Amino acid sequence: MNLSQQEWWDKAQEDENAVILDVRTEDEWNRGIIPGAINIDIYKGQGFIYAVEELDKSKNYYVYCAAGGRSAQACSIMNQLGFETAYNLIGGITQWDGPVNEPE
């Protein structure tokens, strides 16, 4: 499901079951992340699927990438793998005007 920036962030903040998932590359990740995010690079192909399969399917996933294309694809893959709730951030981190942290 695609959500606007404000909707995505508000929902994630109110959701006790939220996991923020960044599907960008490690280089992109190192340039700054949305606070609390975990990183699984969608470009890893089968490796992405293996890593996602390890995640808790009962959680709600708030997914983003640079511009919204890869995260939309990631949400679709996650739905096919049995994840009921995956929200795509429209416009990605490129259009993000919320908080950005350095990854630890």
Q: Which residues are catalytic?
A: 65
Which residue type, as a one-letter code, is found at position 29?
Answer: W
Compute the 3-state secondary structure of the chain and give helix, strand, coil in percent, each to the nearest 5.
40, 20, 40
Question: Cα–Cα distance between 63 and 57 in angstroms, integer?
Answer: 14
